[in-house]
A and B are shown apart, each in its own frame.
Chain A
């Protein structure tokens, strides 16, 4: 029996990992290093390979090719019970015939840890369920079961803790609460958390580093703000929040700035915010970065301007979401903070503007709608707050 412990263990490394099911490639030549002690999120729509990746780390699936290691130790071929890895399963998978305490003590007892019951009790205290130790899982609410599942994995102090859509079955309010709590617990125990989710907001709230997965490969990896502010692909731009993508062509260069021709307008963009320096691009800008005002109003110099007509305005209290048709017919989304200014109405002639530093440009060869969540296209059980559309 191995003696899994977080001490002396290192980073989780996936090297050229591929997993095929018959003809279907679930994970395609994935290489990834997750530093010890980080909260890492694998984000993607269902079927993108994120759960398969997690299951390979847990040992529940065997990679078709590639290696998985923790620190110096290659665990690619290790059986699940011989890995210093524990999982919080999507459906919690609590043992229905055991009490909450026995569930939490299960892993400790299998490893013949001294004081298993005492450690399990401490684990339950950590998730504030000490008073329910004698109950059976069926007698607990969804949120409580979730905490038991977390405690059951945490008490083993694994080198890597895997969370498979752990909050998927909870209602929105409880999700928000558990997100913060999970983050807090992770900071307390200092273990490496690898969190699989399709909920971009959940990933951004909790993780230090997010890897956005699509069709078995990682589209982009980085800090949440970096992914959001500087998406590297149209998929990331659309999947993480919402983006307006305008078709344009780089025509000139003025100092450090690129000049992008969009529908006859010259728009500025810092050169380092574009993935290419010439040719056709998608010029992207986030809806909340746009400022909207009646046409002809004075607006700050040094901003990019476009004229349009308000197609639709939906007031949501904290902000108003406008759909604005531009001169060439494309509709873009503008989110305006409710700062007390007058609401615009359908048909108003408007001007939208933004600071060049808030734009980003992506290769026009990519699909502008990749990763966009269309209506009826969404597998999210609970709609994400501020999710696209």
Chain B
């Protein structure tokens, strides 16, 4: 339709002028159609399906039907709250660890790496060239007893510190909450580094010169200028790390023990082994609501208009 108008060139433009504004107003909506259709089919419909399934009763063999069984939510929460708490806690610790490791890394790549910048960025993404599962399995080897990491931790008595923090219960690292958090941190670190890099790279170095000129020591300049200006990257990075980490189960399956089970692992079991679909759907929905509540509070608090 609009192609005809543009084909007409200058002459056609004056001719079609009267109905043009109308078309122009509708154009944004037409452009939204594919995205909206995608969301409807692959997000809204499955959500409604999942929601209705959580309120059904029955068994896999005999079939289930919708009985508006809301009590299952309360029962699930009462039965599985430690798993939820653990998931949120592990994800939060992994996010904090990733931020502490990722921020200096992103800062270094953005401001100090010079001509190595692109190579370093590729190195950050390089782990994605192998499968998530393989990489996590590799950590089993890295953290295995008798390995150099365990030896180092024992020598430096970091194992004692971890035991005191209840992140390990023996003198080893594998099959402990510590290993799960380490795995989560490692696996989601690139998701932290990339948005941080993007916002730090945009930071004008001259602003830091101005801060120094205005009596700020380097640390004050960081706190007053660099950090506030990189907040969009911090928020984006923490969300991209926290959300998938909270629902992750590969790390807890491969690196954890029976007392470090995360909720994703339980949902997996309910869906694929116990085949209790209503129970699994309920668990998924509760996780979704918890994450949503945390994220919304967090974004409000951090006050970055760009993301809300």
Contacts and interface: CB of A to CB of B under 8 A. Distances in A.
Interface in A3-30: 4
A110 B204 contact: no
Interface of A: 1, 4, 58-60, 79-82, 85-87, 89, 91, 93-97, 106-107, 110-111, 152-153, 156
A96 B210 contact: no
A95 B209 CA distance: 11
Contacts, number: 62
Contacts of A96: 207, 229
Interface of B: 204, 206-207, 209-217, 220, 224-225, 228-229
Given A93-B207, A96-B229, A110 B215 contact: yes
23 contacts: A59-B212, A60-B212, A60-B213, A79-B217, A80-B212, A80-B213, A81-B214, A81-B217, A82-B215, A86-B213, A89-B209, A89-B210, A91-B206, A94-B210, A95-B210, A95-B225, A96-B229, A107-B214, A110-B214, A110-B220, A153-B213, A156-B214, A156-B215
A87 B220 contact: no
Nearest to B210: A93
Contacts of A107: 214-215
B229 A58 contact: no
A315 to B, nearest CB: 39
Contact of B209 (A1, A80, A152, A156): A80
B212 A93 contact: no
Contacts of B213: 58-60, 80-81, 85-87, 89, 153
A107 B215 CA distance: 6
Contacts of B206: 89, 91, 93
Nearest to A92: B210
Given A95-B225, A96-B229, A97-B228, A111 B215 contact: yes
A82 B288 CA distance: 52
Nearest to A87: B213
Contacts of B225: 95
The 9 closest A-B pairs by CB, nearest first: A107-B214, A93-B210, A110-B215, A80-B212, A93-B206, A87-B213, A81-B215, A97-B228, A106-B214
Given A4-B215, A110-B214, 19 more contacts: A1-B215, A59-B213, A60-B209, A79-B217, A81-B213, A81-B215, A82-B215, A86-B213, A89-B209, A89-B210, A91-B204, A93-B210, A96-B207, A106-B211, A106-B214, A110-B216, A152-B214, A156-B214, A156-B215
Contacts of A79: 212, 217
